[in-house]
Chain A
Amino acid sequence: MKVWSRVIALLLAVVLGISLAGCSSGQKPAEKPAEKQPEAPKVKDSITIALQGEPTSLDPQFPDDGNMRAVTDNVFEGLLELDGQTLKPKPALATEYKVVNPTTWEFKLRSGVKFHNGETLTADDVVFSVTRIIDPKFKSQIAGNFSSIKTAKKVDDSTVQIITNGPDPAMPVRLTLLKIMNKKHVESVGDKVTTQPVGTGPYKVTEWNRGVHILVERFDQYWGNKPSIPKAKYRFIQEGSTRLSALKAGEIDLAVNLLPEYAKEVPQVATAEGLEFPFIRLNHFKGIMANKLMRLAVNYAIDKEAIAKNLFGGYATVAQGQLFKPGYVGFNPNLKPYPYDPEKAKELIKQAGYKGEKIQLIAERGRYLKDGEFAEAISMMLRDVGLNVELKYYDWQEWLKTLFNRERAPDMMYSSHGNEMFDADRTFSSLVHSKGPMSSYNSAEVDKKIDQARTEMDPAKRQKLYEEIGQMIYDDPAFICVVNLKDIYGLSKDLQWKPRQDSRITLYEMKLAGQ
């Protein structure tokens, strides 16, 4: 008995050991190309980009995933693309477009465009791509961007019409987000479409070693300008300080989302005004903040300059009394940030008859740059003017539930707004319209203007409506608008790149010194 037990125990241990060893050796990544040494050769033909996380998929029509877009923005293209600095749509796969009637848009396709698998772009591909993304069965996480599209139809081999449910003036911007896929490829590979991307972009994906890296290479038959950098490797480094270390050690050439404090340490910093506007949503429906005087007071109580300068180390600009920056459709140039005036704030609080009641401020931590510290700084400034603010951090789930449930809306709520459409409709419809999913603002007059602007096809009239709305929610505040964050990129010495206003990481616009 005893002998047996030992033998069996030993056997088990051996089996377990072998199976473990088998696991770990069997799956070792396929013979990797010789590891690049820190001392790079004289002329590099490849750069390494460190993203914050691994893309969930490389099907640009499926997830809402910034890590994926960092890769796919170089691999896929839309009918139109955005100018990186002015944020205006410009031709890409379509050379021109016209509005046939308020619900019909017609696009002329560029000729001679090749996909990475050698196929030529046709109207069928475009129709396929549009219908694929709006198909409810496909469950695209970004389908919401295209909810106004009813269908697409082929006019001839190089002409496509897109039909909308109602007038949709924001259609050109939407189309910059709708990437064109190759019909034949998608239909033939099935599930593998998530790992085998075939686009028309300047780079093609050559290898995806899960968890380790994605390799891309210049696509020789690309229709446009030939990009300068032949090859690139994407790595996934979640921890900010590790990205910094890797950049300092010369292992990577571009690190995204660095902390402002790291800027001094990296070989080269590049910044641009980014998409994110951290702000405080005020509860206009009920509670203490329903009082307009209180909402004005908190706007005067926040030292926005100090937050931009100290907390974000200068890598933020004070928001212009709105959640837009110049270039967005609906930006109101007449608005100015509320000045920092604690005395005025105290006076307004007194007028409002505030008696020291507890005021809730709900925030979350760990998603956005310095989100926790931002909320803490806000709460300290509000306490300084005599408000009894209770700051609570919810975890992401709880925070989302609170954000979307008006019944649970706290007096104040930290959130961060990033508008990828650069169009005021998105912000106003969701955050200000009384029926918006994240809104705690209640004004029939504002609602009416938002509805009206959404279908207004005349750009000038639409702009005017948005400016009026902007003024209204400034005078009777819906938010505390604080700052607009800059994107901070760390670059190696010899990499040249000007970051874009739309936060896209455009490999095809980068250059290596000495090339």
Chain B
Amino acid sequence: MSQESVAYLTPTSRRQRAVSALHRLWQDKVAFFAAVFLLIVIFSTLAAPWISPHDPAVGKIGNRLKPPAWMEGGDPNYLLGTDQQGRDVLSRIIWGGRVSLTVGFVVVGLAGAFGTLVGLISGYFGRWVDLLIMRIVDVQSSFPGLLVALTFVMVLGPGQWNLIAALTFNGWMIHARMARSQVLSMRETTMVESARAIGCTTSQTLFGHILPNIISPLITTYVLEMAHMIGAEATMSFLGYGIQPPQASWGLMIGEGRVYITNAWWLVTFPGLAVALTILSLNLVGNWVRTEFDPLHRSRH
């Protein structure tokens, strides 16, 4: 660790820095494979129309619940087997990734940005601003999320984007609380006081000094929330308020497949693996990005 950081402290160009970062990625085998996996997932969801072997929405009812190709009774045409409607599981995973990843990224992007901003403001200004914001957070987080989400879908109608709206509306509070609690413990430190003393503007203090110092737990929260949101999409879709079949999403596949858990394990296992591996890779790559590019971490090397 220390040898690396010596080399790192004297970067001569941005290019060199990028090269050495990638080099370290290659050395960190786990992070490397995670990055590769993530690239494959992103590529395959983007290229879904060209690479998916079957139409994800069309199946023959006579073909239902065929096991994966390598098992007895499997059909080589359906590598990962077929689902309860006779549709190809692999194709649905490829297409479903589009929906699940969009939901995860967009919800955490929106809710995270909004929540963090609100939390920063609340924690930094304190007093009535804090009071008002935190009461709103309290009201919303004391409320069964399911009921709120349901109301959204009732008013807006079911579908991917309305689901995103509902989950964002339900998901920002945790980021606000997280940011606020971190700001509270930062606010009175010498660093912030000196930033104020040398005449930094509020936004400079907030985003230039406070945010970078509290970003680490926040990033962790984003990744955890991403996992949570993909799961929430599953629950919502299963209850009928989310993704509408024949469209596919990983969550919907798990939710719908769970009833066949004892006779057709492949219905839940493969989308479940897809979710788990994606989140895991995301986090590992996230860690690597954080250590490489976060000023705080960099200085520690």
- Chain A positions near chain B (C-beta within 8 angstroms): 240-241, 244, 259, 261-262, 264-265, 303, 306-307, 310-311, 364-366, 372-373, 376-377, 379-381, 383, 391-398
Contact = CB atoms under 8 A, between A and B. Distances in A.
B154 A393 contact: no
A397 B154 contact: yes
Interface of B: 58-59, 61-62, 64-65, 84-85, 150, 153-154, 158, 239-241, 244-246, 256, 258-264
Given A259-B259, A261-B263, A307-B61, A364 B240 contact: yes
A198 B88 CA distance: 55
B258 A241 contact: yes
B85 A373 contact: yes
Contact of A310 (B61, B246, B262): B61
Q: Which 9 A-B pairs have the closest CB atoms?
A: A365-B240, A310-B61, A261-B263, A395-B240, A377-B61, A306-B61, A393-B240, A376-B85, A373-B84
A366 B240 contact: yes
Contact of B62 (A259, A306, A379, A392): A306
A265 B258 CA distance: 16
Contacts of A365: 240
B261 A241 contact: yes
Contact of B259 (A240, A306, A380, A397): A240
A262 B154 contact: no
Given A241-B259, A241-B261, A395-B153, 9 more contacts: A259-B259, A307-B61, A373-B85, A376-B246, A383-B58, A392-B244, A393-B240, A395-B150, A397-B154
Contacts of B245: 372, 376, 391, 393
B246 A391 contact: yes
Contact of B262 (A265, A303, A376, A397): A265
A320 to B, nearest CB: 21
Contacts of B153: 395
B246 to A, nearest CB: 6
A395 B61 contact: no
A306 B64 CA distance: 11
Given A310-B62, A377-B61, A380-B59, A393 B263 contact: no
B92 to A, nearest CB: 13
A364 B61 CA distance: 20
B66 to A, nearest CB: 12
A393 B238 CA distance: 11
A381 B59 CA distance: 10
Nearest to A372: B245
30 contacts: A241-B258, A241-B259, A259-B260, A264-B263, A265-B262, A306-B61, A306-B62, A307-B61, A310-B62, A310-B64, A311-B61, A311-B64, A365-B240, A372-B256, A380-B58, A380-B59, A380-B61, A381-B61, A383-B58, A392-B158, A393-B158, A393-B244, A393-B245, A394-B158, A395-B150, A395-B158, A395-B239, A395-B240, A395-B241, A396-B240
A261 B260 contact: yes
B115 to A, nearest CB: 26
Contacts of B240: 364-366, 372, 393-396
Contacts of B59: 380
A380 to B, nearest CB: 7
A306 B60 CA distance: 10
Nearest to B85: A376
Nearest to A390: B244
A416 to B, nearest CB: 15
A395 B239 CA distance: 8
B17 to A, nearest CB: 46
B257 to A, nearest CB: 11
**Residue from A366, A392, A393 whose CB has the most chain B CB atoms within 10 Å:** A393
Contacts of B64: 310-311
A366 B256 CA distance: 10
Contacts of A379: 246
Contacts of A383: 58
A256 to B, nearest CB: 15
Contacts of B158: 392-395
Contacts of B259: 240-241, 259, 261
A18 B59 CA distance: 57
A379 B245 CA distance: 11
Contacts of A393: 158, 240, 244-245
Contact of B85 (A244, A303, A380, A395): A380
B285 to A, nearest CB: 35
Nearest to B150: A395
A244 B260 CA distance: 11
B156 to A, nearest CB: 12
Nearest to A310: B61
A460 to B, nearest CB: 42
Contacts of B246: 376, 379-380, 391
Contacts of B241: 395
Contacts of B150: 395
Contacts of A241: 258-259, 261-262
Contacts of B261: 241
A395 B260 contact: no
Contacts of B244: 391-393
A474 to B, nearest CB: 25
Q: Which of A264, A265, A380, A383 has the most CB of B within 10 A?
A: A380
B154 A395 contact: yes
A199 B246 CA distance: 49
Given A393-B158, A393-B245, A397-B154, A377 B262 contact: no
Contacts of A307: 61
Nearest to A397: B154
A240 B256 CA distance: 13
Nearest to B57: A380
Contacts of A259: 259-260
A372 B256 CA distance: 10
A365 B241 CA distance: 10
B96 to A, nearest CB: 15
B262 to A, nearest CB: 6
Contacts of B61: 303, 306-307, 310-311, 377, 380-381
B260 to A, nearest CB: 6
Contacts of B262: 241, 244, 262, 265
A398 B84 CA distance: 26
B53 to A, nearest CB: 18
A241 B261 CA distance: 8
A185 B244 CA distance: 51
A397 B65 CA distance: 31
A287 B64 CA distance: 33
A131 B294 CA distance: 77
Contacts of B62: 306, 310
